[in-house]
Structure 1
Amino acid sequence: MTKAAEPVWYYDSPTTFTGSLQRGLGRGAYRALRDPAAPQAVLACVKRDYRWDWLVDERAVYLARLARDLALPVPPLLNLLQENAVDDDDNTFDNTLEILEALGRAGDRQAIDGLRRYVHDGPRWVDVLHAIAADWPRELWDDLLPVARTRLGQRAHADGVLWRSRPWRDWAAVDDQLAAGVAEFPPRKAPRRPLEQQSTEDLLTALRTSSTDQQKAALRELNLRGPQPGLLPIVEKLPATELHGPLGRAIRMLGPRALPLARAWATPPIHPMIWTASLVLAKHGDDSDLPALLAAWDWLDGRTEDRCGYDALAAGIARIGGPAAQAAVPRLRHAWFSPHTFERAAYLRAVTALDPGNTDSLLTEGLWDCESDVRQFAAEHTPLDDMTRKQLSYLRDDPMETPEVRATAAARLS
């Protein structure tokens, strides 16, 4: 699922234990192992998915570790799959499935047996089968083929989406009926490009003279051909609001050549392409562009329902650096508590670059963070003491952890 969580008022304060757990902060995981209220607080984060963006924010390993280390019983988690088969605003089914899959990947026998049993009798057995086949060793799911064959029944050729993911293509090698289904639904082909035969000059002409729909089609074709400097002389005459998406991509592809245009768009009053301008300045600008980047940060703050994009600004400000960039440090430290955790690694990298003498506590906390990129960066840079060495050993040896974090922790300890 890709639905985002509810607005920011939905979260408890990040200074509270429950608020830190909801945001996947390292301090929440660290405190949970010492707080008698932790089991119920963790279970609440399983039942209601607190990720801002369910597609990219990480929680599964974070919550699975807490469930394991707090010895939460697995059967109630398995019951959540049965009780919440219908999707809702809590996203209980998908959240719980990801957590149980992580527990099974780490060898938890109850999670393994419970998910395998769900394939036998659960209503959303296909979702569970896809999840375990994607990340578990084949020997843990390969013998479920007869179960899947029986449960598919007459649907064998009716649901083509099945054949585009594991385990169906693996099983097709040994099952003739599944092989027929796979052959019937080959991998998707790239979509046809209606304007592929037109010259670049003709497409630029269409941008100047055609309707909005034709302009969009011309821009999409041009974007497939790489940067188009020929856009620059005509871009101000194009309807930016209507062409926002493809036009923004076209301008970003121009790189440093788009800087004069981006600087003009970043000057008040607010231009429809303000965000494209900000991304160009973040990627290619210099210290003269820092005020515009800080203004873009404030513009994002004014969009209370939008938590996305701060990472690009943080990376750009840190890249430019210098004394003027220090003004961003308080913003970065505030953004650390955002519920949109996918961007947290960018904040940590930026504040480490801009304020290197005052990042020890964030780097240490990062070893417990929900985001694997944060854990990896923290493992590379955190000061070594008894506590951080112990956590690095934990990361190195935990089969739930990503290979990159495990390798980084091992290298740091060596």
Structure 2
Amino acid sequence: MFDPVIAPSGTLLGLLQRGRGDGTLHALTAPRAEALAALNHCVLRDPRHDWQVENRSLYYARLYLDLNGELDAIETHLFDPEDVLDSDESRTGLALAVLGHLASYGRLDALQLLRRYAAHGVNWAWALDELALRDDDAGLRALAAPVLARFPRDPEGDAELAAAVRDAFEPRPWRLWAEDARESIATRVRAAHETGCFDRWQRQMSPSGPRPGWSVRAVFEWAQQGVERGAALHVPAAR
């Protein structure tokens, strides 16, 4: 993840980068071209230090709606040759999330961009998750073939497909594809789902992380440690 460069807080760009409410007001009173340039800068160069704790996509999506902003800059960014070289989610994640919100608001151009990127982009799984919440069944079924084509029909490709199905944030597309009328697609997705379920079961049965020793001896040793340090072992905080 790159370290974002944040503009001064008194500038339009700085306000939008920080997600300030008055940033929207300044953007709506600024020249439209200037406001869109600042907005595109934020969406294409994620200004957040940690996207997992700061939600900014809805804020930017609503501003696109208020400005009636075109999506040409986002399209160019998503399908830039750099997409093949840089698979980090931080490069495209915010743009895809913004498109997801815009699709929810009825922006057909945003929906079509998400479909194209899910079929051809490197960060396709994120785009597919956005579509899982917004697209109709027909749109999702049309993506089955290009998505499955990413996984070669060999043991390694099948293992990668099983992992993708198992770890999918939104399972709706995979469930649709498992019931697809095209037998070649349905059979492969069902097999991947079964493999993923078995892998999850194996990991639960044989965890690789540290395991507490809750034998009788371990319990008595734990209790003795509490006595020695003067902790009250009967209170909830000691559990």
The TM-score, its normalising length taken from structure 1, stands at 0.45
| 2:94 aligned with 1:95 | yes
Deviations 1:148-201 (A, max 9, x none): 233434265121321122222442244111101111111734464452444663
Aligned residues: 210
Task: Please point out which of 12, 22, 42 is paired with 1:17.
Answer: 12
- Name structure 2 gaps, 5 residues minimum: 181-185
Contact 2:13–2:38 under 8 Å retained in 1? yes
Partner Cα distance (1:138, 1:16) in 2: 41
Task: List gaps (5 residues or longer) in structure 1.
Answer: 209-230, 237-252, 258-414
1:271-282 aligned at under 5 Å gives the runs none
1:221-262, Cα deviation, whole Å (9 max, x unpaired): xxxxxxxxxx485289xxxxxxxxxxxxxxxx72xx8xxxxx
1:5-404, aligned counterparts within 5 Å? Answer: 6=3, 10-36=5-31, 37-83=34-80, 84-85=82-83, 86-87=86-87, 91-133=90-132, 135-139=133-137, 140-154=139-153, 156-159=157-160, 160-164=162-166, 165=168, 166=171, 167-174=173-180, 175-186=186-197, 188-189=200-201, 190=204, 192=207, 193=211, 195-198=213-216, 201-204=219-222, 208=225, 231=226, 234=229, 254=237
Q: Is the 8 A contact 1:46 1:95 kept in 2?
A: yes
Distance 1:94 1:232, change over 3 A: farther
CA deviation after TM superposition for structure 1 residue 203, in Å? 4.4
CA distance, structure 2, for counterparts of residue 232 and residue 35 of structure 1: 67
Letter in 2 for 1:70: L
Note closer, same or farther for the CA distance 1:197–1:105 as it changes in structure 2 (3 Å cut): farther
Q: 1:101 to 1:235 in 2, by over 3 A?
A: farther
Structure 1 residues 288-345: Cα deviation after superposition (integer angstroms, max 9, x where no partner)? xxxxxxxxxxxxxxxxxxxxxxxxxxxxxxxxxxxxxxxxxxxxxxxxxxxxxxxxxx
CA distance in 2: counterparts of 1:232 and 1:47, whole angstroms: 57
Native 8 Å contact 1:82 1:122 kept in 2 = yes
The equivalent residue for 1:358 is: none
TM-score, normalised on structure 2? 0.74
1:28, distance to aligned residue in structure 2 (A): 0.4
Larger Rg: 1
* Residues 13 and 19 in structure 1, CA contact (< 8 A), matched pair in contact too: yes
Identity across the alignment (%) = 27
Does the 8 A contact of 1:103 with 1:111 survive in 2? Answer: yes
Q: What is aligned with 2:183?
A: none
Report deviation, 1:75.
2.8
Structure 2 distance, partners of 1:179, 1:92, is 32
Q: In structure 1, how many angstroms separate the alpha carbons of the residues matched to 2:227 and 2:20?
A: 44
CA contact (8 A) 2:87 2:122 kept: no
- Sort the Cα spacing of 1:66 and 1:198 in 2 relative to 1 into closer, same or farther, 3 A: farther
Native 8 Å contact 2:151 2:158 kept in 1: no
Whole-Å separation in 1 of the counterparts to 2:227 and 2:51: 37
Counterpart amino acid of residue 158 in structure 1: A
One-letter amino acid matched to 1:24: G
Asked if the contact 1:82–1:123 (Cα under 8 Å) also holds between the matched residues in 2, the reply is: no
Q: Distance in 2 between matches of 1:63 and 1:232?
A: 56
CA separation of 1:232 and 1:71: change in aligned 2, threshold 3 A: farther
The match for 1:387 is none
Q: What amino acid maps onto 1:188 in structure 2?
A: R
Distance 1:109 1:199, change over 3 A: farther
Give the CA deviation at 1:25: 0.9
Q: Report if aligned partners of 2:111, 2:135 keep a CA contact under 8 Å in 1.
A: no
The answer (yes or no) to whether the contact 1:78–1:115 under 8 Å persists in 2 is no
C-alpha RMSD over aligned residues: 3.1
> Partners in 2 of 1:158 and 1:47 — Cα distance?
33
> Aligned-pair distance for 1:19?
1.7
